[in-house]
Amino acid sequence: MSEGGTVPGRLIAVVGPSGVGKDSLMEALCAKRPDLVRVRRVVTRAPEAGGEDFEAISPALFAARAAGGDFALHWQAHGLSYGIPREVHQTLARGQDALANLSRAMLGQAARVFPGLHVLHVTARPEVLAARLAGRGREGRAEIARRLARPAPAFPAGLTVTEIDNSGPLERAVDAALSALYPERV
Ligand SMILES: Nc1ncnc2c1ncn2[C@@H]1O[C@H](COP(=O)(O)OP(=O)(O)OP(=O)(O)O)[C@@H](O)[C@H]1O
Ligand SMILES: O=P(O)(O)OC[C@H]1O[C@H](OP(=O)(O)O)[C@H](O)[C@@H]1O
């Protein structure tokens, strides 16, 4: 329920294969649109892993918080647990849009939890993905192979989805995302 008649903000799900540029795109979008909120996820990843700004917690604590209803959404992937803190609902109620890196497998549930969900489906050519993961150096060769082999689930019908090809310069993907999200912008 929005606060005092304010038009609620949208949860903008940024999804796509590992290495496609989700984190890079979200960082660039927030730089262009300071009013955009990026959801700080709770992840059972080692705090020193680098990359996104996330809250690192143990699997046991994650399970307890999930059982306690702390997360608006949570899921498992890559041997990790990921949670979207329920406080994001307050952000949306204030009329702010929020960006969240979600699993493609969670989009049906996300649409039920977040009316007005907008999905940015980030894509890139397979050879580009492989090169970027190798260049980023966050995962080892075996984990990169596993991530590249991860099947892409079909999306549920009825979602608002914008496909963003990030095979080229990041700025091009940023412009495409902004045009889709804020068509009224000059
Ligand atoms: N348009 C682009 N051109 C060149 N390099 C890019 C572009 N977008 C992202 N990269 C680089 O590709 C690598 C992967 O990007 P990023 O970490 O944002 O992907 P991701 O989708 O968040 O990956 P993961 O799901 O594994 O976290 C990074 O090194 C990033 O700097
Ligand atoms: O392949 P799918 O299920 O879409 O995504 C798998 C995982 O990768 C991304 O997280 P990260 O980039 O690993 O932090 C997603 O948020 C999800 O947690």
pLDDT above 80 for 65: yes
In the block, tokens 């996820």 appear at 41
CATH of residue 96's domain is: 3.40.50.300
Asked if pLDDT for residue 138 goes beyond 90, the answer is: no
Instruction: Ligand 1: list residues with CB < 6 Å.
Output: 16, 18-24, 51, 132, 135-136, 166, 169-170, 173
Pocket test for ligand 2, best of 14, 55, 101 (most atoms within 8 A of CB): 101
- ipTM of predicted assembly, 2 dp: 0.97
- Closest to 39 measured CA to CA, from 109, 105, 114: 114
22-44 residue pLDDT tens: 999 999 999 999 999 999 999 99
* pLDDT grade for 5, boundaries at 50, 70 and 90: confident
Distance CA 148, CA 92 (A): 33
| pLDDT confidence band for 6 (50 / 70 / 90) | confident
Lowest mean pLDDT among 4-8, 69-73, 125-129: 4-8
Atom 6 of ligand 1: nearest residue by CA position: 21
Residue nearest to atom 23 of ligand 1 (CA): 19
Tell which atom from ligand 1 comes closest to the C-alpha of 122.
Answer: 21
In degrees, rounded to 5, the angle at the alpha carbon of residue 94 between the alpha carbons of residues 89 and 100 is: 45
User: Ligand 1 centroid vs 20 CA: distance in angstroms?
Assistant: 5
Q: Is the CB of 159 under 6 A from ligand 2?
A: no
Q: What is the mean pLDDT of residues 169-176?
A: 98
Q: For the chain, how many structural domains are there in total? A: 1
Mean pLDDT of 145-172: 95
- Residue 58: other Cβ atoms inside 10 A: 10
Please name which ligand lies nearest the alpha carbon of 99.
Answer: 2
**CA 149 to ligand 2 centroid distance, Å:** 13
Range of the domain at 157: 3-185
Counting from 1 in the atom list of ligand 1, the atom nearest the Cα of 173 is 1
**Per-residue pLDDT at 1:** 45
pLDDT mean over 152-172: 97
- Report the alpha-carbon distance of residue 49 to residue 46 in Å, rounded: 5
Average pLDDT over the chain, rounded to whole? 94
In short, whether 148's Cβ falls inside 6 Å of ligand 2 is: no
Ligand 1 centroid to Cα of residue 91, in Å, is 26
Atom of ligand 1 nearest to the CA of 167: 1
| pLDDT tens-digit map of 68-78 | 999 999 999 98
**For the sheet containing 160-165, what is the strand order?**
37-38, 98-101, 11-15, 118-123, 160-165
